[in-house]
Amino acid sequence: MENLRIPGPTPCPADVLQAMAKQMINHRGPEFGQMLNGVTTSLKQLFQTKDDVFLLTGSGTGGLEAVIVNTLSPGDKVLSVSNGVFGERFATIAQQFGAEVTPLRFEWGKAADADAVRQALQAEPQIKAVLVTHNETSTGVTNDLASISSVVKEFDKLLLVDAVSSIGSINLPVDDWHCDVTVTASQKGWMAPPGLAMVSVSQEAWQAHSKARMPRFYWDFAKAKSYLEMATAQTPWTPAVSTVFALSVSLEMMLKEGLPNVIARHARVGRAAREGVKSLGLSLFTKESYASNTVTAVAASNGLDTKKMLKILREEHQIVLAGGQQSLDGKIFRIGHLGWITEDDIEIVISALRVVLPQAGFKG
């Protein structure tokens, strides 16, 4: 079996996999309804929100599209805070549906700066919403969402958050930080297979929804809400039933561990990854002050051929790490450490790297 250490999909515990093997049930029947209500209640606890939470069948990108089409109209001005691949993707979706996007870009590997967000909002009073990626998976940076949020709310704008690789692993109190829509996906820190996006929707987001005119059908939050509130809770369209089975088990595990403990475990694991990487003579791609606790990005230096390294790790050690995306291809590699993970799992990766790095040209 491969040791999968990419930032999603992540390995699933045996009980979660077993849940996936269950026979299909009627997705409009009482058994599914009960499970859907249970999963939704658990997610609200883990999102730290009292507002609505919906399960959408799709990937994280589908969830990002849902955020855009449910809150905006063509021609709306949007500020995109971006410091990597996923920030750019969020902005592109908004643009494709007709929003007028003002980009606020930060160097890849650096964190977004709340003061710069303030200046951008001062310069353009017509902006309606701000798009932010909490944890930029492509660079291993966790943005200071609390500070960004307080700026966004100073100006009374909608805060739309890509929390795909953070929430459930890194602290993100949705209500306290006034996130209007927050998106994640089942294959990240949730210890479940791909198939579901999960979104929270605030009262302000509902107000925006009532005026939003971007075309939407499959992703319509109003449909998700009306079906969830039926006597037998359901989703408007056939859901990824097996992934819901899996998620109901993994959420139970997370609640049993307790959210503060899950977050603390990720902090310990993140620290172990960074310390381990440095002990090998490698450099982190980001500053430690904003390095992510779910994915560590490592700079390729001192002759390291990352592609060769990834190949040897995979073929000879059955360890799968991630390379860099887009302009970071060949320049960094990434260790995913979210979901079902402990410090021991990181130790295995670091020990293998110790053997493989010199074989892949590293002269550190």
Q: Which residues bind ligand PLP (CB under 6 A)?
A: 8, 59-61, 86, 133, 137, 162, 164-165, 185
Q: Is residue 83 within 8 Å of residue 112, measured between CB atoms? A: yes
How far apart are CB 58 and ligand PLP at their closest, in Å?
8
Of 130 and 233, which CB lies nearer to ligand PLP in the complex structure? 130
How far apart are CB 96 and ligand PLP at their closest, in Å?
15
How far apart are CB 294 and ligand PLP at their closest, in Å?
9
Of 59 and 293, which CB lies nearer to ligand PLP in the complex structure? 59
Pick the closest to residue 146 from 115, 105, 176 (CA basis): 176
How far apart are CB 354 and ligand PLP at their closest, in Å?
28
Specify whether the backbone of 325 is left (phi greater than 0), alpha (psi in -120 to 50) or beta: beta
Of 57 and 234, which CB lies nearer to ligand PLP in the complex structure? 57
Of 185 and 277, which CB lies nearer to ligand PLP in the complex structure? 185
Q: Is residue 296 within 8 Å of residue 277, measured between CB atoms? A: yes
How far apart are CB 326 and ligand PLP at their closest, in Å?
13
In degrees rounded to 5, what are phi and psi of residue 46?
Answer: -75, -25
How far apart are CB 64 and ligand PLP at their closest, in Å?
6
Residue number of the CB atom closest to ligand PLP: 60
Strand order in the sheet with 295-299: 283-284, 295-299, 332-336, 322-323
User: % helix / strand / coil in the chain, to the nearest 5?
Assistant: 45, 20, 40
Q: Which helix (H) or strand (E) holds 142?
A: strand 141-142
Of 170 and 284, which CB lies nearer to ligand PLP in the complex structure? 170
How far apart are CB 146 and ligand PLP at their closest, in Å?
18
How far apart are CB 147 and ligand PLP at their closest, in Å?
19
Of 88 and 233, which CB lies nearer to ligand PLP in the complex structure? 88
How far apart are CB 316 and ligand PLP at their closest, in Å?
26
In degrees rounded to 5, what are phi and psi of residue 161?
Answer: -120, 125
3-class secondary-structure state, position 214: coil
Of 185 and 272, which CB lies nearer to ligand PLP in the complex structure? 185
3-class secondary-structure state, position 57: strand
How far apart are CB 279 and ligand PLP at their closest, in Å?
27
Positive or negative CA dihedral for 265, 266, 272, 275? negative
Q: CA 47, CA 249: separation in Å to the nearest integer?
A: 17
Of 8 and 270, which CB lies nearer to ligand PLP in the complex structure? 8
In degrees rounded to 5, what are phi and psi of residue 198?
Answer: -125, 135
Q: CA 85, CA 108: separation in Å to the nearest integer?
A: 9
Q: CA 333, CA 6: separation in Å to the nearest integer?
A: 10
Q: Which residues contact 327 (CB under 8 A, 6 or more apart)?
A: 108
Residue 177 in tokens: 């930080």
Of 273 and 312, which CB lies nearer to ligand PLP in the complex structure? 273
Give Dmax (Cα) for the chain: 65
Of 69 and 312, which CB lies nearer to ligand PLP in the complex structure? 69
3-class secondary-structure state, position 217: coil
